[in-house]
Amino acid sequence: MADLVYSPGLEGVVAGETAISTIVGGLEYRGYAVEQLAEHATFEETAYLLLYGELPSPKELGEFRARLEAAQVAEPILQTLRALPSDASMMDVMRTGASMLAHWDPDTADNSRDANLRKAERLLAQLPVILAAAQRLREGKEPVLPQPGLSLAANQLFMLTRVEPSPAWERAMDISLILYAEHEYNASTFTARVICSTLSDLHSAVTGAIGALKGPLHGGANERVLEVLQKVGSSDRAEGWIRNALASKQRIMGFGHRVYKDGDPRAAYLKAWCAKLAAETGHEDMEQMADVIEGIVREEKKLPPNLDWPSARLYHYLNLPVELYTPLFVVSRVAGWSAHVIEQLSNNRLIRPRANYTGPVTRQFVPLAERK
């Protein structure tokens, strides 16, 4: 094994090739800077780009939206959501929902590119319905179906509240979905690629990816971010709290990144939207608190914020329950996961790494009667 190179956590290891996104010099989807997409595109356009490789023409976008509107969640799935424990983790519900959707998808067993594109489109439309229906049921309310003519972002908010969002709220949600949609070979995406490399199906890959995303070291950090802000309470307590926390070596979620050492471009972009929504919703003090904490963490630990730091505040300003923060990540990232599954299968090789063995050296078997 001496000739094998070991890198804990596969850090720095190139495990494959992709034309979907890059994080070299900033984050780009199919060659477009994510800031440009967040500024000018919609989530539907971004999802189309990830799946098909190019931004859609007006005609292609219209047809894409029509296909998304036509995708439905089978009634037995909604009935099953009613039977789930009310205290079940929402990420567990999303994982179960993705798996259940396979049973009613006509293309489940077809691993061709065209079939996987159809399945990916349906998942883009169906997973927001699963999220909203499960949340309303646990609130003792009936599920709300999506409204024709609304964007995916607007429908996500509408299905949760039965209120059509303002243009600013719709755009804020839309941008957050764009920023979370894809991020190269992250843990959940790599999980999806490993699963489909066995020639398993798209729904299995997405279900496994949701399981990977559930972990707090990957997708659950924005929930912890809000806990920190609520614990601090107000901007006048922020400096004392964060300096004490750093002195006692507490880990502050929402800062640092395995790849972005000089700062997460997504966090920088979303910060402006947080300030805009904070002013609109009366949360200016939380924004000031966040600024103080961010400045001191940068100064003391040299750690810039990652996307979870502003997204937690954005979702809070949108009145979204904290247990939905990571499931919303699922709603967005299914576009990237699906694109990676399709890419992996286009030139597939089973992903099967080696391990550095650290167990006992070769031993001789001792019959049971002779063991002491």
257 catalytic, yes or no?
Answer: yes
Cα–Cα dist 143/312, whole Å? 25
Show the domains of the chain with their CATH numbers: 19-217+324-346 (1.10.580.10), 221-317 (1.10.230.10)
CA-nearest of 352, 248, 252, 269 to 314 is 269
| Residue 135 burial by Cβ neighbours in a 10 Å radius (0-12, 13-18, 19+) | buried
Residue 1 confidence (pLDDT): 47
308 catalytic, yes or no?
Answer: yes
Catalytic residue among 107, 174, 201, 308: 308
Mean per-residue pLDDT pooled into runs of 10, the chain (372 residues):
76 92 93 96 98 98 98 97 95 98 98 98 98 97 96 98 96 97 96 98 98 88 85 93 92 75 82 94 95 92 89 95 96 98 97 93 96 93
Q: What are 124's two structure tokens?
A: 């883009």
Residue 2 confidence (pLDDT): 52
Cα–Cα dist 335/277, whole Å? 26
Cα–Cα dist 319/312, whole Å? 11
Sheet containing 21-22: give its strands across. 21-22, 28-29, 32-33
Contacts of 330 by beta carbon, 8 Å cutoff, 6+ apart: 91, 94, 98, 127, 131, 210, 213, 219
Cα–Cα dist 37/46, whole Å? 7
Catalytic residue among 105, 183, 201, 257: 257
